[in-house]
Amino acid sequence: MAEQDRHILMIFADKIKDKSNCSSRHIGCLIVSKQMYILSSGANITPNPYCVFIGCHKEAMGAKHGEHSIYCDSQHAEEVATKLLKIKISEEELEDLKPLTAVMTCGYPCRFCLEELINAGITRLILGSDVFYNEEDKNAWETKYKDKFTDVWICPI
């Protein structure tokens, strides 16, 4: 994929993150076909009014990103986008659209999101930064997930 195309897709993903209602982080995610069709999109969202109107439980506890997920009601942007993809497009139809690319405004996704992306058939990543949010996710990437993706590009906004 050309650098210009990656940059344009990242601009779109950056607009999608504005849909987030999380008080802590705003992340956008697109899922794109080999033909450069945007198949799905998502932003991290929370159904919890406490988070929206008062603030983040995890931040109040002093937790770092990627820690104490049990206290977070949000769905990650990647989770929202992959769920929408599975609703919209059948597995048979997806075969003609592969390879699929996930475009995310964050750094390397957490282990949970990596599993979601892999299960959705995504093999290429465009990331907003080269940051890992914690050491466990970095180790998991190096030992388990790195080989599942054919291409990983960093494309900061």
pLDDT at 129: 96
pLDDT at 118: 97
pTM value is 0.89
pLDDT at 62: 76
Instruction: Record the tokens describing residue 137, joined without a space.
Output: 């996710």
Q: H or E segment at 82?
A: helix 77-88
pLDDT at 4: 95
Rounded CA-CA distance 29/94 in Å is 18
Are the CB atoms for 12 and 30 separated by under 8 Å?
yes
Are the CB atoms for 42 and 29 separated by under 8 Å?
yes
Structural domains in the chain, CATH included, are 3-20+27-44+76-154 (3.40.140.10)
Are the CB atoms for 27 and 36 separated by under 8 Å?
no
Mean pLDDT, the chain cut into blocks of 10 residues (157 residues total): 95 95 89 96 84 73 67 85 95 93 95 94 97 91 96 94
